[in-house]
Structure 1
Amino acid sequence: MISNRSVPVNAILPHVYYEDVAAALTWLRDAFGFEEQYRFSLPDGTVHGALVRLGEAHVMLKSLTRAAASPARIGGYTQNVMLFVEEIDAHFARAEAAGARIAEPPNDTEYGERQYVAEDPEGHPWMFAKHVRDVAPEAWGAVIARNG
């Protein structure tokens, strides 16, 4: 994968909240190709959380708490996670075939990405992208912060 100064890839572990983590695990595997790394359950056997991986990116799936909600419950987005994949068009075809609602079809951006956005069954948006050009942020109008 090429590098793109406008969209760096960083180490971060987002937590995405679901009403049904077990169902989310299955759907995310089938539609987006995530691989389960591990899961943990409540005393009653309900899956409470799971770590999944796609390429080099990891995402923690968690069950809802009093302080967390899924888009299905609140009727709007709570986050948008961007993950990088090498075969973006094949990834899109897989997600679409699995029934993902496509919020934004594949498109090439002015800042050097080919990307699309698909929603999972609970309404979480997942953005998938591939660096297709190295573009300086100034080239598309970003203002570089000068610290110190």
Structure 2
Amino acid sequence: MASKLWRTPTVVPALAYEDVPAAVEFLTRAFGFRERAGARLNGHGFVLAWMDVGDALISLSTAGGHGRNSPRSAGTITQSVKVYVDGIDRHFARAKAAGAVIISEPGDKFWGGRVYEAKDLEGHYWEFSERDRELDSAEWKLPPGIKMGA
């Protein structure tokens, strides 16, 4: 009998949280992520969980392991993750209602994207962008003072 395999994307960001169970609950409620049921690990002072985000996967682990820190304990942003979603305005309203710290409201960008930025309960920086809006770089409407190339 063949073993059942995990679906594995090419890149899996790993984020550290002081309270992984609270992070799982917040990311589910605010951003619509889904924990991989039955895969959470607990032991010797750590928690490890995996969240599905569309066709991607994010690993959450207890801060301190592998030298990773939560922005809350580090006192600074330690990373950022960009996530493409359908219905950016609806997604924004959900995140705001769930208590995400809003950095910028949805806005149209010169590359055609519609984006908003938020922080989660421990200060991780998230950028959410409407799927299938970004133009080929030849179509960008560059702001004054910015030009393409080296």
* CA distance in 2: counterparts of 1:71 and 1:89, whole angstroms: 26
4+ residue runs of structure 1 moved beyond 3 angstroms?
131-134, 138-142
Deviation at 1:47, TM superposition (A): 5.5
Deviation at 1:18, TM superposition (A): 0.3
Name the residue aligned to 1:7. none
Q: What is the identity percentage for the equivalent residue pairs of Structure 1 and Structure 2?
A: 38
Q: 1:30 to 1:131 in 2, by over 3 A?
A: closer
Name the residue aligned to 2:6. none
Deviation at 1:11, TM superposition (A): 3.6
* Structure 1 unpaired stretches of 5+: 1-9
Deviation at 1:121, TM superposition (A): 1.0
Note if contact 1:112-1:132 (Cα within 8 Å) is conserved in structure 2: no
Other structure's SS at 2:40 match: strand
Higher relative contact order (CA 8 A, sep 6+): 1
Deviation at 1:64, TM superposition (A): 1.2
What TM-score, normalized by structure 2, do the two folds share? 0.80
* Structure 2 unpaired stretches of 5+: 1-8
The AA in structure 2 aligned to 1:133 is R
Note if contact 1:114-1:132 (Cα within 8 Å) is conserved in structure 2: no
Name the residue aligned to 2:149. 143
* CA distance in 1: counterparts of 2:10 and 2:116, whole angstroms: 21
Name the residue aligned to 1:30. 29
Name the residue aligned to 1:39. 40
* CA distance in 1: counterparts of 2:46 and 2:78, whole angstroms: 21
Deviation at 1:132, TM superposition (A): 5.3
1:99-132 per-position Cα deviation (integer Å, ceiling 9, x unaligned): 1110111111111211111111111111111145
Name the residue aligned to 1:56. 55
1:49-74 per-position Cα deviation (integer Å, ceiling 9, x unaligned): 11101211211111112611111112
Q: Which has the larger radius of gyration?
A: 2
1:20-42 per-position Cα deviation (integer Å, ceiling 9, x unaligned): 10110011111111100131111
Give matches, 1:1-148, under 5 Å: 11-37=10-36, 38-43=39-44, 48-65=47-64, 67-131=67-131, 133-138=133-138, 139=140, 140=142, 141-143=147-149
* CA distance in 2: counterparts of 1:83 and 1:142, whole angstroms: 25
* CA distance in 2: counterparts of 1:15 and 1:33, whole angstroms: 18
